[in-house]
Structure 1
């Protein structure tokens, strides 16, 4: 009897050792429009998180600010591209969320209808300008550019909020005079004749006195989940990094993912995929943190954010640990 018990215990130990490690569960959210859509589609269809051994639930949101709110409420664990301004604002307010990556670059142009008499940014004073809703990083960057580079106060122009396709329609209908549109959108609305009068990259360089492009979106993580799953957090970042490198190397596969997951036409998907290298980034090096801190001070100077941004807002551990994951 004793021998049988010993053998049973040994068998249980062997089976236990052979059983696979329990996969960390993570709820990942992203905005189902804008630039977030492309990365999210590739991330999901390529199963990059699952390949890192994670058990994933993807949650899509119809509003750009919704993933940040869901994180604060404990509804998701990680947002792949939360608005940078809002993310830094909640961190400054002391909410238990951490920036673990810079993920999207503000690759936008200021455009006007082709037949518009407006030829320079300075001529936008007193005009109706379309852009992302208040609270988004895009709105904060646009406001900072207009104030710091051209001296516009909030009363010197009218901001008309909306998503990019809607704003393009407003331009055609002459309901607005100009708009800040993503280069992805401009690549897709080929039938709309627009003229570029400025870009976020160029204007941000003037404003920040530096070469780093403005960061539009960040990877934002819930602190409770991060602390409970440090290895899982590194795997999340590794999955993000591998998806980014995949997109850089295989534009045809990106286009295929967009057709399959985003219901995008083949020509539009190819145009979107061609912009991958310029609109996405997956990094959190010291230079990225410095750029975000500069952005926070700029946003603060125009009233887009308040308070002080603590160093603790940036959790570099998952990014550094991800470098060892092959």
Structure 2
């Protein structure tokens, strides 16, 4: 029996379609011939070191420094010499300016030096970090010691009368905590560190309730109606720096008043009165309002940067 040509073609189409219906599911399921399995890439580690530090400290103030951006800038040595790192790392062979990649400091306020949590990200070999902690133990008064039951290698050291716990969190973190929070060092296990910068900034300061948390001797007074504040520092090749600040006020109307109050407050804090004269340490800093936000942008000369770090050394927790 002969089929018409069009019938034969139609049968071929059905046969081909049936073949696809059978073969495609087999291919998608691997069929009988399974190829080599490709292991899934491990999930990226969460970059949550700052959040962990804030949680441990109950912090409302935080400073994140992208040290790799400050390494070859004059400000790098000044930042390394501030009270947070220098007393602990001095004499250990670790140079904060040269050896740290990123560092974060969290505290409830500028006046809460005893509750500071500091986290440093580095690229040093483990034996060098361990030797540095041994050096901290050796210079501690009274003598320091390794904590035998800690989940991560940790030592108890006393520097300038304050006892701290220094923890080594592999592969690349060094954590300094209050003695009461020694066990919290293990919370940093598995962290991927810190978020990358959003722009060219080398440091970011954040504060909640800055009227209270940034209150310190020699620091400008912040209006209570500003509920949060951020400052970003960008370093320039000439040795100077640009500082962009922003604060959240309670309303657009209040932001205008806050801008005027902050302008006056910063002027007072950065000026010296000699008899009837007023000598400014910096050029005028003017705050403006945009909606419910208060903002300022300041260009600091290298000489201004020196003066600023002099003021910071007075205001930061000891």
TM-score w.r.t. structure 1 length?
A: 0.22
Higher helix proportion, which one?
Answer: 1
In our comparison, the structure showing a higher alpha carbon Rg is 2
Asked which structure has the greater RCO (Cα within 8 Å, sep 6+), the reply is: 1
Higher strand proportion, which one?
Answer: 2
TM-score w.r.t. structure 2 length?
A: 0.23
